[in-house]
Structure 1
Amino acid sequence: MTKSELILEIAAAHPNLLLKDIDLIVSTIFDEIESSLAKGGRVELRGFGAFFVKNRKARTGRNPRTGDPVDVEEKYVPFFKTGKELRQRANQQLTDK
């Protein structure tokens, strides 16, 4: 599901809300999550999951085409860990098909 599809789903479920207001709400939520992660913080949405940043140390990798060694710099990578409720719901709905 894309961001625009999410906005349309919310608009269909709540016809009393304006599309531009829904867009602003969704964008604000995503911006706040992004801002918190950029500061090294963690965002936890109970029942849904947690967004956090992991540090990947510098290492020597390999060029897959040539096999030559390549230095890979240290970097920070965003991660998402699902919450228990989301995981159970997804497993239940996928096994019921």
Structure 2
Amino acid sequence: MNQAELIETVATNAGVKKADAAKVVQAVFEGISGALGRGEDVRLAGFGIFEVAERAAREGRNPRTGEVVAIAASKAPKFKPAKQLRDLVNG
């Protein structure tokens, strides 16, 4: 499912116009992105948790030359599905 299909589904299920559904979907994405940007978790009961994971600095290798390369510490978004969502996916 892509964003356009998600908007169509939201519009159909909520009984609203696609333009209104698009605004709602965009607002949800902006809310989640904004919270993660501030380092906050987003917890959606029955769906899951969006959080920021810290990755430590480490050494890697250039696959072409075998040279050791320093990889800087970073942060990355992470999603942990709720039990209800895992159960739904696993049948």
SS of equivalent to 2:90: helix
Partner amino acid, structure 2, of 1:35: G
Aligned ranges for residues 41-80 of structure 1 at < 5 Å?
A: 41-80=40-79
Query: How many pairs were matched up?
Result: 91
Q: Offset of 1:65 from its aligned partner? A: 2.1
Partner amino acid, structure 2, of 1:38: G
Distance in structure 2 (CA, Å) of the matches to 1:36 and 1:12 = 28
Q: Which shifted more, 64-73 or 45-54?
A: 64-73
CA-based RMSD = 1.0
> 5+ residue gaps in structure 2?
none
Q: Offset of 1:17 from its aligned partner? A: 0.7
Percent of aligned pairs with the same amino acid? 40
SS of equivalent to 2:16: coil
Partner amino acid, structure 2, of 1:43: V
**Partner deviation per Cα, 1:59-83 (whole Å, 9 max, x = no partner):** 1111122221111111001000000
TM-score of the aligned structures, taking structure 1 as reference length: 0.88
Partner amino acid, structure 2, of 1:50: I
Distance in structure 1 (CA, Å) of the matches to 2:76 and 2:9 = 29
TM-score of the aligned structures, taking structure 2 as reference length: 0.93
**Partner deviation per Cα, 1:32-68 (whole Å, 9 max, x = no partner):** 0000000100001011000000111111111122221
Partner amino acid, structure 2, of 1:88: D
Q: Following TM superposition, where does structure 1 have runs of at least 4 consecutive aligned residues deviating by more than 3 angstroms?
A: none
